[in-house]
Amino acid sequence: MEFCPSCGLLLQIDPGTGSHRLRLFCPVCPYFDAILFRLLVPQIVKKARLVKKEVEPIFSNADAMKLAPKTQASCPRCNHGEAYFRQMQIRSADEPMTAFYRCCREECQLEWRDD
């Protein structure tokens, strides 16, 4: 995307007809830029490595699970009727909170969420 240096609007592409070649033009002011010349001039490109964010677990460790409240919820994997839960606001303030569950059964420990 290129912007007009005069007024700051997004430049549009003029396909060109006859003797005119492909060019960028501003729909508001008389600015235009020939794309042919732009291809001949090397552009500065900055490359940066993408650093991924660490994902924090909803339930951090076994000690946190001992203090977490329990509720009556059926596990989708083992159908156990009790689960630990935690509620968080992950969307905008006018949306309801999201409940995260973890199965209480030691063998299962499945984590799921209820939107």
Residues marked as binding? Answer: 4, 7, 26, 29, 75, 78, 103, 108
Nearest of 68, 77, 78 to residue 100 by alpha carbon? 68
Contacts of 31-34 with CB under 8 Å at 24 or more apart are 31/4, 31/5, 31/6, 31/7, 33/2
Nearest of 48, 5, 53, 49 to residue 25 by alpha carbon? 5
Binding positions for Zn(2+) = 4, 7, 26, 29, 75, 78, 103, 108
